[in-house]
Amino acid sequence: MTTEENVQYLKQFATEIQTQLEWLSGFGADPAGGVTRLLYSDSWMQAQLALSEVMEASGLTAYFDDAGNLFGRLEGEELGEGCILTGSHIDTVRSGGKYDGAYGVAAGIAALSFLLANYGQPKRSLEVVSFAEEEGSRFPLTYWGSGNVTGRFQTAEPPLDIRDAQGISLQEAMHSAGFGAGTHRPSKRTDIQAFIELHIEQGAVLEREEQAVGIVGGIVGQRRFTFMVMGEANHAGTTPMAWRRDALAGAAEMIALIEEKASALKEPMVATVGQLEVSPNIPNVIPGTVQFTLDVRHADEIVLASFCEEIGSRLQAIADTRGLKLSGSEWMNAQPVPMHPELMEKLTNICEARGLSSRAMFSGAGHDAQIMQPVCKTAMLFVPSRHGISHSPLEYTAPESLSAGVAVLIDLLYDLAYS
Amino acid sequence: MTTEENVQYLKQFATEIQTQLEWLSGFGADPAGGVTRLLYSDSWMQAQLALSEVMEASGLTAYFDDAGNLFGRLEGEELGEGCILTGSHIDTVRSGGKYDGAYGVAAGIAALSFLLANYGQPKRSLEVVSFAEEEGSRFPLTYWGSGNVTGRFQTAEPPLDIRDAQGISLQEAMHSAGFGAGTHRPSKRTDIQAFIELHIEQGAVLEREEQAVGIVGGIVGQRRFTFMVMGEANHAGTTPMAWRRDALAGAAEMIALIEEKASALKEPMVATVGQLEVSPNIPNVIPGTVQFTLDVRHADEIVLASFCEEIGSRLQAIADTRGLKLSGSEWMNAQPVPMHPELMEKLTNICEARGLSSRAMFSGAGHDAQIMQPVCKTAMLFVPSRHGISHSPLEYTAPESLSAGVAVLIDLLYDLAYS
């Protein structure tokens, strides 16, 4: 392409993707500008059905699997060569934005449509997926969509006792939406050779560093804990400072230490105390108990484990010094997931060839890519999020960023499926 | 009295007061062992009426005033000489103990009864009061009882818009209980020359220091603030440590500073962050906003004011350094109230003469004595609270402590009314 053609080509995608994301946000739109599409809800179902029509209109063969994952397929010339998959999810958090997940689906459809129109049938089959569920917003469960594709979950045996806020079980909701074992194609796949997920960054690193594209080296491991600090509730007026066993003063020292230790380590180490409850929580009573959560993330399992261990013993030391009791429990331990070096290298070369600035980075958030990684070569690509805002009606990515991402995705898919 | 007689005399009071407090706790008793007597409630009214019978049976003239304060009077020989008052309150917090307030009322009745039986009519009139309300448990208002006696409040013009949790106004509740302007004797008094309040400590100072009696030098001043720390809620995984504006990490540093500064000052300085709310309060979201209360108490207004000023500017400095916004509002400012030096000296001498250990101390909690102090010579006497526990069914004071307090009270009342 000439430079002029390239500019036109990118403009076309910018408009196309933006228009499609606006249109898709109509499914589950709330008056405040947010989008709520929960797994197997009416708005979710309508969005999936509408997308299947878009896929068909783009020349793809659309189909659902038993879990409700929607695929658009472009059959390859070479039989038995497996399949190159791209896509993301269309379920949202409550009152989320228009870009998280949806961008990867819309971009995938646009990319396959462009490849078909310009290069005809691929050698290897290409598919775009709109995963049924990633956010865990309706049920206390995440990655139901990609988890069924990889065999982590099975529609025939959904986890029991998983219910939404209304008491409806995952199984009931799945059946109500017309899905479940035997209703469509089996979810479990063994033919996928590569999965490429294009996603908004959900952070402000690319924006601040003015990089067009982020090439994800891995998804950080996450550990989550709940700590309970137990002191003694007492009268705020009649208990001298020296005799107090103030659970909140103790927790404050712990939170300060966590922040200090995490800040002292290099990126991508992050540690967050996001939730905290005080009891009895009355202005004139010394806090007797404080419960708080700790969320720690790093791309290196050894660094992550040693940080958590050190924090645990340092918090215990603070509690001991203050005559407080401390108990901690770990309720999440997700290992770091590295992306495929070969695909990362291809992405780096593509960006260079296109004159797009890029940087290697870790994903601090979880994505379907981490579920797909054990079964196929997996890569992730980020585009900037304005002000790093995500999971909010304020979520926004500029049109030129949307099109840059699609252009890089097209080049990689071409490399994998046509060459 | 001989030593033997003195021992018998104290034993008698121990039994008498303990029996009366047990009996009184039957009014408003809950199954968990707590006592709930809210202003103008049925259990409160029954307790006041039952106490008026006890007063009459003890040789006192019982009467109510318009606010529902109950008095037991022992007329003095010398007309126009004014009145020496003792007593406390019988309203409670929800599920409170048997001693807070009630002890001062029972002790006052026992003291006047003893003085009458042993020394006959006093020179100056003696009265015991069971104030209608001190705790602020039913209505968002405190000291309604003593406040009517001193003229701070008037039954004819109760504060408007003061309602309980059921929406009943103070005025409606007062009228329902049969009180209000013109129903009984006027509440406002100008004849009270001295007020002595005997009360449990509600702290653990006397117990830890093994002192029989605390002679209160003053009631600390209190200032209460609410601070709002505003940062930026953000994704816990995708926001590097260096770019965070974490409201909770900022609040933690502030709480640590408050504790450090208050501990560095001598008693009776106390500072407490008792209530704290995090928003959005989700494990994987960096806290955007934290609101917390600060309760500061000291007996010296200058020390109190300078501490609050320093804390205010130090908290602002922490906020500035972290790129956080801080707003603070003061919603309580009660000045310290000194007790009368002459009465304190008399109490010290009485304890010495009785061979009772005692220490001067400040009251970190509020009491009716601070309302009476502007209109008459006022003193307060503390006896030990087991483990410092108060406002709880676990509230307890040993019988020998109860009787020691009564003995000192009797001696002071004798000095003031008979000599």
Of B201, B202, B234, the CB nearest to A388: B234
How close, in Å, is residue A312 to chain B by CA atoms? 17
- State whether B201 and A236 contact (CB < 8 Å): no
Give the pLDDT confidence score for residue A10 in this predicted structure.
84
**What average pLDDT does range A16-21 have in this prediction?**
95
Check the annotation: does B135 bind a ligand.
Answer: yes
Q: Which residues of chain A neighbour B243 with C-beta distances below 8 Å?
A: 204, 208
What pLDDT, in 10s, does the model give residues B145-169? 999 999 999 999 999 889 999 999 9
A183 and A226 part of one domain: no
Residue B73 structure tokens = 């009077």
Q: Which of B334, B354, B387 corresponds to the end of one domain?
A: B334
Closest CA to B141 of B371, B300, B409: B371
- State whether B263 and A281 contact (CB < 8 Å): no
A18 and A106 part of one domain: yes
- State whether A202 and B235 contact (CB < 8 Å): yes
Q: Residue A3: pLDDT above 80?
A: no
Q: Which residues of chain B neighbour A293 with C-beta distances below 8 Å?
A: 283
Give the pLDDT confidence score for residue A9 in this predicted structure.
84
- Please report the residues numbered 64 through 103 in chain A whose beta carbons come closer than 8 angstroms to any beta carbon of chain B: none
Residue A293 structure tokens = 């959560």
State residue A269 phi and psi, 5-degree precision.
-65, 125
Give the pLDDT confidence score for residue A1 in this predicted structure.
65
Q: Which residues of chain A neighbour B255 with C-beta distances below 8 Å?
A: 248-249, 252
Check the annotation: does B138 bind a ligand.
Answer: no
What pLDDT, in 10s, does the model give residues A222-245? 999 999 999 999 899 999 999 999
B40 and B111 part of one domain: yes
What pLDDT, in 10s, does the model give residues A142-155? 999 999 999 999 99
The CATH number covering residue A65 comes to 3.40.630.10
What pLDDT, in 10s, does the model give residues B211-266? 999 999 999 999 999 999 999 998 999 999 999 999 999 999 999 999 999 999 98
Confidence band, pLDDT 50/70/90 cuts, at residue A266: confident
What pLDDT, in 10s, does the model give residues A119-140? 999 999 999 999 999 999 999 8
- State whether B273 and A255 contact (CB < 8 Å): no
B58 and B125 part of one domain: yes
Give the pLDDT confidence score for residue B80 in this predicted structure.
78
A307 and A372 part of one domain: no
* Average predicted confidence (pLDDT) for chain B: 95
Cα gap A82→A67, rounded to integer Å: 21
Give the pLDDT confidence score for residue B1 in this predicted structure.
65
Check the annotation: does A184 bind a ligand.
Answer: no
**What average pLDDT does range B380-407 have in this prediction?**
95
Greater pLDDT, B411 or A8 = B411
Task: Provide ipTM, 2 decimals.
Answer: 0.87
The region of weakest confidence among A180-184, A408-412, B285-289, B388-392 is B388-392
**What average pLDDT does range B63-79 have in this prediction?**
96
Check the annotation: does A91 bind a ligand.
Answer: no
**What average pLDDT does range A293-322 have in this prediction?**
97
B77 and B225 part of one domain: no
% of chain B residues with pLDDT over 90: 89
Question: Dihedral (C-alpha) B50, B53, B57, B58: value to the nearest 10 degrees?
Answer: 70
- B152 touches B374 (CB < 8 A): no
Q: Which of B334, B363, B379 corresponds to the end of one domain?
A: B334
Q: Residue A275: pLDDT above 90?
A: yes
A275 close contact with B: CB closer than 8 A: yes
- A96 touches A395 (CB < 8 A): yes
Closest CA to B66 of B158, B153, B149, B185: B185
Work out the burial of residue A149: count CB atoms within 10 Å of its CB; fewer than 13 is exposed, 13-18 middle, 19 or more buried.
Answer: buried
B99 and B201 part of one domain: yes
A195 and A229 part of one domain: no
The region of weakest confidence among A58-62, A64-68, A266-270, B123-127 is A266-270
- Please report the residues numbered 381 through 410 in chain A whose beta carbons come closer than 8 angstroms to any beta carbon of chain B: 388, 390-391
**Residue A84: count of CB within 10 angstroms of its CB:** 27
The CATH number covering residue A225 comes to 3.30.70.360
Q: Residue B301: pLDDT above 90?
A: yes
**What average pLDDT does range B278-295 have in this prediction?**
94
What pLDDT, in 10s, does the model give residues A34-92? 999 999 999 999 999 999 999 999 999 999 999 999 999 999 998 777 999 999 999 99
Q: Residue B2: pLDDT above 90?
A: no
* Domain limits for position A103: 3-219+336-418
Confidence band, pLDDT 50/70/90 cuts, at residue B68: very high
Residue A363: closest C-alpha in chain B: B238
What pLDDT, in 10s, does the model give residues B135-145? 999 998 999 99
Give the pLDDT confidence score for residue A295 in this predicted structure.
97
* Average predicted confidence (pLDDT) for chain A: 95
- State whether B270 and A366 contact (CB < 8 Å): no
Check the annotation: does A100 bind a ligand.
Answer: yes
Q: Which residues of chain A neighbour B205 with C-beta distances below 8 Å?
A: 238, 240
- State whether A283 and B270 contact (CB < 8 Å): no
- B106 touches B12 (CB < 8 A): no
B214 and B234 part of one domain: no
Q: Which of A298, A318, A334 corresponds to the end of one domain?
A: A334
- State whether B276 and A274 contact (CB < 8 Å): no
- State whether A273 and B237 contact (CB < 8 Å): no
- Please report the residues numbered 195 through 254 in chain A whose beta carbons come closer than 8 angstroms to any beta carbon of chain B: 201-205, 208, 220, 222, 224, 234-243, 246, 248-249, 251-253
The region of weakest confidence among A82-86, B76-80, B194-198, B400-404 is B76-80
For chain B, what is the domain count? 2
A11 and A144 part of one domain: yes
B124 and B237 part of one domain: no
Q: Residue B10: pLDDT above 90?
A: no
Cα gap B358→B348, rounded to integer Å: 7
% of chain A residues with pLDDT over 70: 100
**What average pLDDT does range B325-339 have in this prediction?**
95
Residue B232: closest C-alpha in chain A: A389
The region of weakest confidence among B15-24, B77-86, B268-277 is B77-86
Q: Which residues of chain B neighbour A366 with C-beta distances below 8 Å?
A: 237
Check the annotation: does A322 bind a ligand.
Answer: no
**What average pLDDT does range B75-87 have in this prediction?**
91
A108 and A202 part of one domain: yes
How close, in Å, is residue B15 to chain A by CA atoms? 28
- State whether B284 and A295 contact (CB < 8 Å): yes
